[in-house]
């Protein structure tokens, strides 16, 4: 296994490197609390899940409370959905790096959280502009290796019945044949189609890399940092507009959902032997946590703080 790079680049008004938490106490503050209180669905009865879903269907409001719609502003059109994302803390959304391709500037973006019907903004949803975008420094646009990014939000997002963070797995989390895994998103149900109005969900199988890399499947293009999921026949899949969204699995022993993957790419949608490819999030846990803990304001404010300190010293000298 190739360990992911520890650093993450932030694209914002100032270009920042977040490789380590700025302050240690951040780790004992909101973030750890946020990660502990994760992966639960207050409006859903977990004992009721488990029936097999073929293809996607409408999700209930509150079914996936970490699902985010990442939207871009375009003149004449307004904001429109580009990619999915997953809320991982009160101010961080995890998504795919390739979503930022045409819009690297955080000012283009807003995140909508707690949504079920696209563009129908009810009182229980929260919208936030984006303060910085952190793209994995080893992201490769050709191979889609390390297709992972964190959007830091301007607002602190309070949790409620419709808004919850998802848990981040580490490499010790074991998936079995019985583990129930799902994908969700507003993506289209066919290639080049338009986004779906109601959030869609589907149960997926995790397909081994051994099968996924067969010569008549992906022929070796899928790395150990990726996961294949869907169904062997192709009936269940993610598609355009689902990118960046969650591949999540339920662990009944802890009664929590974990973000196992991030929707990344695939050949077409719903084709046999061409399942969806997902970023294997367990390989990026420390990278994600360092991005969550990075405090843009703290680092960006340092030059201003130094400026005022120096100006103060100069003034003092002039007065003396
Ligand atoms: C896309 O274009 C995309 N079938 C996402 C997922 C898949 C294909 C394309 C997987 O965002």
Pocket test for ligand 1, best of 187, 227, 261, 279 (most atoms within 8 A of CB): 187
pLDDT at 8: 58
More confident residue, 316 or 198: 198
Confidence band, pLDDT 50/70/90 cuts, at residue 13: very low
**For every residue of 68-134, which 3-state class applies, written as one string?**
EEEEEEECCCEEEEEEEEEEEECCEEEECHHHHCCCCCHHHEEEEECCCECCCCCCCCEEEEEEEEE
Residues 81, 98, 146, 162: which is the catalytic one?
A: 98
Cα gap 199→184, rounded to integer Å: 7
Q: What is the pLDDT of residues 94-143, one digit of tens each?
A: 999 999 999 999 999 999 999 999 988 888 899 999 999 999 999 999 99
- Please indicate whether residue 243 is annotated as part of the active site: yes
pLDDT at 194: 86
Q: State what percent of residues in the chain have pLDDT above 90.
A: 70
pLDDT at 55: 73
Confidence band, pLDDT 50/70/90 cuts, at residue 10: low
When pLDDT is averaged across residues 220-246 and rounded to a whole number, the result is: 95
- Please indicate whether residue 98 is annotated as part of the active site: yes
When pLDDT is averaged across residues 170-187 and rounded to a whole number, the result is: 94
pLDDT at 318: 54
Nearest CA, atom 1, ligand 1: 240
Which helix (H) or strand (E) segment holds residue 254: the answer is: none
pLDDT at 17: 40
Q: Is the pLDDT of residue 191 over 90?
A: no
Q: Is the pLDDT of residue 32 over 50?
A: no
- Range with the poorest average pLDDT among 196-205, 249-258, 294-303: 294-303
Question: What is the 238 CA–ligand 1 centroid distance (Å)?
Answer: 6
Q: Is the pLDDT of residue 309 over 60?
A: no
Q: What is the pLDDT of residues 45-66, one digit of tens each?
A: 887 654 443 378 999 999 999 9
Does residue 263 have its Cβ closer than 6 Å to ligand 1?
A: yes
Does residue 242 have its Cβ closer than 6 Å to ligand 1?
A: yes
Q: Which of 216, 223, 300, 237 is nearest to 22 (CA)?
A: 300
Average pLDDT of every residue of the chain: 85
Does residue 231 have its Cβ closer than 6 Å to ligand 1?
A: no
Does residue 264 have its Cβ closer than 6 Å to ligand 1?
A: no
Q: What is the pLDDT of residues 75-86, one digit of tens each?
A: 999 999 999 999
pLDDT at 303: 46
When pLDDT is averaged across residues 264-282 and rounded to a whole number, the result is: 96
Does residue 147 have its Cβ closer than 6 Å to ligand 1?
A: no
Nearest CA, atom 11, ligand 1: 240
Does residue 240 have its Cβ closer than 6 Å to ligand 1?
A: yes
pLDDT at 302: 42
Strands 149-153 and 92-95: antiparallel
- Please indicate whether residue 147 is annotated as part of the active site: yes
* Phi/psi of residue 294, nearest 5 degrees: -65, 135
Write down the residue that tokens 């294949």 correspond to: 228
Tell me if residue 205 falls in helix, strand or coil: strand
pLDDT at 33: 38
Confidence band, pLDDT 50/70/90 cuts, at residue 73: very high
In the DSSP assignment, the letter for residue 182 is E
pLDDT at 122: 82
Residues 81, 86, 131, 147: which is the catalytic one?
A: 147
Does residue 237 have its Cβ closer than 6 Å to ligand 1?
A: yes
Pocket test for ligand 1, best of 56, 263, 264, 267 (most atoms within 8 A of CB): 263
């Amino acid at each position: 296994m190739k360990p992911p790079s520890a650093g993450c680049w932030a694209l914002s008004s100032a270009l920042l490197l977040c490789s380590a938490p700025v302050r240690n106490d951040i780790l004992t503050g909101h973030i750890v609390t946020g990660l502990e209180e994760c992966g639960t669905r207050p409006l859903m009865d977990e004992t009721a899940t488990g029936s097999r879903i073929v293809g996607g269907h409408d999700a209930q409001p509150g079914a996936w409370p970490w699902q985010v719609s990442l939207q871009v502003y375009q003149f004449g059109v307004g904001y429109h959905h580009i990619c999915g994302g997953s809320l991982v803390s009160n101010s961080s959304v995890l998504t795919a790096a390739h979503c930022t391709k045409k819009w690297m500037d955080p000012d283009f973006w807003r995140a909508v959280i707690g949504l079920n019907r696209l563009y129908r903004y009810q009182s229980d949803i929260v919208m936030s502009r984006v303060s910085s975008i952190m793209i994995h420094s080893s992201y490769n646009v050709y191979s889609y290796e390390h297709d992972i990014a964190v959007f830091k939000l301007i607002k602190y997002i309070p949790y409620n019945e419709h808004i919850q963070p998802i848990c981040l797995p580490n490499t010790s989390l074991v998936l079995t044949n019985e583990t129930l895994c799902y994908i969700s998103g507003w993506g289209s149900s066919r290639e080049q189609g338009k986004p779906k109005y109601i959030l869609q969900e589907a149960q997926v199988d995790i397909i081994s890399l051994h099968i996924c890399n067969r010569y008549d499947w992906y022929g070796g293009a899928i790395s150990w940092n990726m996961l294949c999921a869907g169904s062997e026949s192709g009936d269940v899949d993610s598609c355009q507009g689902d990118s960046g969204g969650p591949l999540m699995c339920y662990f009944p022993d802890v009664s929590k959902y974990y973000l196992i993957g991030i929707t990344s790419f695939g050949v077409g949608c719903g084709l046999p032997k061409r399942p969806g490819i997902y970023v294997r999030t367990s390989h990026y846990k420390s990278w994600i946590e360092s991005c969550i803990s990075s405090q843009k304001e703290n680092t960006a404010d340092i030059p201003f703080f130094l400026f005022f300190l120096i100006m103060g010293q100069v003034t003092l000298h002039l007065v003396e």
